[in-house]
């Protein structure tokens, strides 16, 4: 409709002694839709009155197509350049984050090693130094394992799903995090509403659920509680982990499962870590043709993580 209005204005301009012009689609006598560049001008008689309108039209279909293709190519190039710049920025940020997190335990190991070598320690401090070296070496090992697992699952690591009892999966993960929970006097409350089995890779699904539980312990204050529930819905095994922790701010939700993300609460509380745990969970659940989701009423309201994976028909 807008092109018709432009054409009418071009003709009206010619009738008033002006030059009109419009560019747009118009059908030929054969019914073919083409793009035209049209110029109109009035032809006056001896009395100065416009008696005729001269219309000069040029078929610009091909040139318009080339121009559109050029614009589309330019847009794709700009988007590709922007994506490459964002990827480079993200990579550099990740490298800085990894270097920062690995440097902490490394500095501790080096510091204690120098003191031991110089003999600047008492008999009481010797076991403290050795424990510190061992603890920080283990911290580095855990972070390196997380980096390896993240890369492995992101690249599509193969899993071997076989039937596993949901109760056994949950209990094994609870047993793994129990010492950390007890250290903070956090109650782990388990409720099973199914005796079903899940179709899962034992090692991978254990890692996924353990990561979720460790995350819950990490962000739940001393004396809090974590509820673990299992159930069956439409041939899908559901495992929920609900904590009474710090909750999740709405603006952070879209980035929660991205690598190297921990949220503002973690940095404000001075917690260390690479922020790979939940990204590994998502990759593992995707490999199982399952999902992981999270719900939180907001900061200070706790969070509920839900693992959804296929049930085994046994």
pLDDT tens digits, 170-200: 999 999 999 999 999 999 999 999 999 999 9
What is the residue range of 106's domain? Answer: 81-154
Residue 75 domain flag: no
Query: Do 55 and 98 fall into the same domain?
Result: no
Contact of 150 with 188, CB cutoff 8 Å: no
Q: Tokens at residue 44, please?
A: 């006056």
Taking the whole predicted model, whether its pTM rises above 0.85 is answered as: no
Query: Do 308 and 167 fall into the same domain?
Result: yes
| Rounded Cα–Cα distance for residues 248 and 300 (Å) | 8
| Rounded Cα–Cα distance for residues 211 and 191 (Å) | 19
Rounded mean pLDDT of 5-14? 82
Query: Do 183 and 299 fall into the same domain?
Result: yes
> Which CATH number fits the domain that encloses residue 119?
1.10.287.130
Residue 206 domain flag: yes
Answer whether residue 264 shows pLDDT above 50: no
Residue 89 domain flag: yes
pLDDT tens digits for 90-121?
777 767 767 777 787 888 888 888 888 888 77
Residue 72 domain flag: no
Residue 216 domain flag: yes
pLDDT tens digits for 278-287?
888 898 899 8
Query: Do 43 and 106 fall into the same domain?
Result: no
Specify the range with the lowest mean pLDDT, choosing from 71-75, 141-145, 273-277. 273-277
Query: Do 123 and 264 fall into the same domain?
Result: no
Domain boundary among 154, 186, 204: 154
Q: Tokens at residue 285, please?
A: 């659940």
Contact of 165 with 202, CB cutoff 8 Å: no
> Which CATH number fits the domain that encloses residue 263?
3.30.565.10
Residue 55 domain flag: yes
Provide the domain count of the chain. Answer: 3
Residue scoring higher pLDDT (15 or 91): 15
Residue scoring higher pLDDT (294 or 15): 294
């Amino acid at each position: 409709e807008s092109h018709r209005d432009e054409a009418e204005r071009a003709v009206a301009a010619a009738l008033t002694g002006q030059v009109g012009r419009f560019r747009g689609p118009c059908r030929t006598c054969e019914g073919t839709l083409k793009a035209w560049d049209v110029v109109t001008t009035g032809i006056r008689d001896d009395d100065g009155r416009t008696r005729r309108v001269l219309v000069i039209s040029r078929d610009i279909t091909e040139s318009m197509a080339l121009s559109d293709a050029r614009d589309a190519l330019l847009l794709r190039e700009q988007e590709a350049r922007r994506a490459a710049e964002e990827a480079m920025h993200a990579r550099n940020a990740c490298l800085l984050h990894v270097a920062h997190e690995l440097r902490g335990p490394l500095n501790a190991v080096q510091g204690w090693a120098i003191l031991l070598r110089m003999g600047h320690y008492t008999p009481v401090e010797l076991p403290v130094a050795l424990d510190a070296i061992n603890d920080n070496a283990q911290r580095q090992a855990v972070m390196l394992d997380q980096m390896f697992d993240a890369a492995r699952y992101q690249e599509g690591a193969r899993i071997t799903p076989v039937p596993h009892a949901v109760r056994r999966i949950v209990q094994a993960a609870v047993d793994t995090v129990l010492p950390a929970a007890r250290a903070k006097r956090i109650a782990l409350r388990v409720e099973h509403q199914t005796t079903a089995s899940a179709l899962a890779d034992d090692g991978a699904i254990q890692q996924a659920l353990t990561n979720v539980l460790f995350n819950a312990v990490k962000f739940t204050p001393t004396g809090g509680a974590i509820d673990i529930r299992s159930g069956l819905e439409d041939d899908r095994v559901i495992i929920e982990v609900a904590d009474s922790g710090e909750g999740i701010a709405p603006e952070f939700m879209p980035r929660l499962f991205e690598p190297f993300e921990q949220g503002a609460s973690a940095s404000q509380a001075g917690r260390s870590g690479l922020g790979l745990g939940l990204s590994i969970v998502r990759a593992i659940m995707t490999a199982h043709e399952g999902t992981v989701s999270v719900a939180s009423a907001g900061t200070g309201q706790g969070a509920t993580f839900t693992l959804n994976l296929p049930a085994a028909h046994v």
